Chains A and B, each alone.
Chain A
Amino acid sequence: MARRTMTPARRKRRAIRAAVALPILLAALVLALDFPFLTARGALAATQARYGFGPGEVVTRIKDSRYSTYRYIVRCGDWYASCGVYQRGPLWRSGQLMAVESRPETPLVSLIIQEQVDNSTILVVSNDPEIASVEVRFPVIYEGVAGWKLFSVRSSQAVENCFFVTYDETAHTEVSDFPFTQIGHHRLRGYDRDGSLIYEAPVPEAWAAYGLEMEEVR
């Protein structure tokens, strides 16, 4: 049977049928893709909604090109959250959210925002405008050395009152064990612009298990 010639009228009817089918097919596509987002901000809003946070004001955004993720630091009142969103192709998905409350009576609070094999980051929120740099102290074991010792990582990299302290395992191969990202195992310090120590958090209770000498702890 000869193929029917496509006339303008036939083409028009076909386009109308396609227009009717398009919303249904798009709905099926969205269902198949499990409701992705077209933008990172859309995924961010959904992540906050799913966790019941905010919506907060974005303080900064950190991009991890290795894993096609963005990590947003958002603020809602006294609460600071780290919000991850993931990119898959041109589409985005909501991720996880972790939050910490920054109380005025506590000059520094921390939140672990990135935990990777060779690169971990702690967010330190400051309530003291005099603090220009922060330090995170935590116990480590050095290769070939018995017992736990204290190790420090310092940072003056700040966005507004948020400091980012990063520990790069590949840069410290002499260290074989380190609870950098274990909650309650690190101690915070704050320094002013002259480098003087102006705040030090109490010694974490978890340090008692490490057998650290008091001289080192002070």
Chain B
Amino acid sequence: MLPPEVPHRTIGQFCDHVCMYVRFRPDHDSITEELTGHLEDHKDALLEGDPDMPLLEAEYRAVASMGDAEALGRWLDSIHSPVLGWFQIWFFRAVVLVGVLAFLLLLPQAERAAQQLAARPPELEISENSRVIAALHPEGAWSWQDYTFSIPQAVETQDWDGRSVKALLKIAHPNPWRKEPVLPGSIWAEDDLGNRYDSMDTVNELLSGDGYPAWRGDCHGSTAARFLFATYCEIEVRKVDPAAAKLTLHLDRYGEDVLWLTIPLEGGGGNG
């Protein structure tokens, strides 16, 4: 630091002295650039007025006309806040880091992410041994906790086992943190004649104990597709009573029946 009684000679020296009082170091370059531009303009103006003036003297006069470097430096320090400045710098760096992380993590999963976002509903799979005898049109939806149940597609089929109903159950969940509900194995069904078609969870329990009667119908559920805001399950109710005209899907959740979705069947006409 120059003693106060020694005058500044050059533009560079003046700028360095001013910057000594500005705490936010990243702005030193921009302050120097601005001061230098201003002083160069002044110097050029002096030379224009007196073309015979030596360059160095013009520079000294331009610098002298700027006044006290310390006062200017302290004033610039008051408007270049280090807190705000460093926050802006580190905030930008943090966002860049998040962006790089997201890119590196998302790139290998681009296909999965695109499928999740596209959310194209699956189609019901019908085996070659089954014959579709009617397309069904269940209406309405059922809401429970964070989930909304509906049936966008359902068919009635006939195969060697008898009459079956296959339904695509859509479980909508607006909260993506609630995706993949673990419910399909617990869904059971009941027809309008009072016949019960047990869930796979119940069938498996009975199979490990007394056994499950071969003649009895059951309700088989499995997840078909998972998206951010909806999960699709294939529900198949097997060995449906030929006289049944309606089938209602239920869900038992720890002692509480929380789902009622009815599928009207194509009459109770038996084997079609």
Contact = CB atoms under 8 A, between A and B. Distances in A.
A93 to B, nearest CB: 10
Nearest to B205: A183
B109 interface: yes
Given A6-B30, A14-B92, A15-B91, A29 B102 contact: yes
B211 to A, nearest CB: 12
B178 A50 contact: yes
A145 interface: no
A11 B85 contact: yes
A14 B95 CA distance: 11
A22 interface: yes
B110 to A, nearest CB: 10
Contacts of A31: 106, 113, 116, 228
A210 interface: no
Contact of A7 (B30, B109, B176, B254): B30
Nearest to B103: A28
Interface in B104-139: 105-106, 109, 113, 116
Nearest to A42: B177
A35 B105 CA distance: 13
B55 to A, nearest CB: 24
Interface stretch (B8-16, B42-50, B180-188, B239-247): B180-188
Interface in A1-60: 5-8, 11-12, 14-15, 18-19, 21-22, 25-26, 28-29, 31-33, 35, 37, 42, 46, 49-53
B78 interface: no
A53 B255 CA distance: 10
Given A14-B92, A25-B98, A79-B255, A184 B178 contact: no
B27 interface: yes
A49 B145 contact: yes
A64 interface: no
B88 A12 contact: yes
A97 B92 CA distance: 42
Contacts of B145: 49, 52
A101 interface: yes
A11 B251 CA distance: 57
Interface of B, secondary structure class, is helix
Contact of A76 (B116, B183, B254): B254
Contacts of B98: 22, 25-26, 29
Interface string A184-202: 1000000000000000000
Nearest to B101: A29
B89 interface: yes
A52 B253 contact: yes
Contacts of B33: 5
B61 interface: no
Interface string A158-196: 000000000000000000000000011000000000000
Contact of A5 (B29, B113, B176): B29
A97 B180 CA distance: 13
B208 interface: yes
A78 interface: yes
18 contacts: A5-B29, A6-B26, A6-B29, A8-B80, A11-B88, A11-B89, A11-B92, A12-B88, A14-B92, A18-B96, A25-B102, A26-B102, A33-B105, A37-B177, A46-B178, A49-B181, A52-B186, A184-B208
Given A29-B106, A52-B254, A205-B209, 9 more contacts: A6-B30, A11-B88, A11-B89, A18-B91, A25-B102, A26-B102, A32-B102, A35-B179, A101-B254
Interface of B: 26-27, 29-30, 33, 80, 85, 88-89, 91-92, 95-96, 98-99, 101-103, 105-106, 109, 113, 116, 144-146, 176-183, 186, 208-209, 228, 251, 253-255, 258
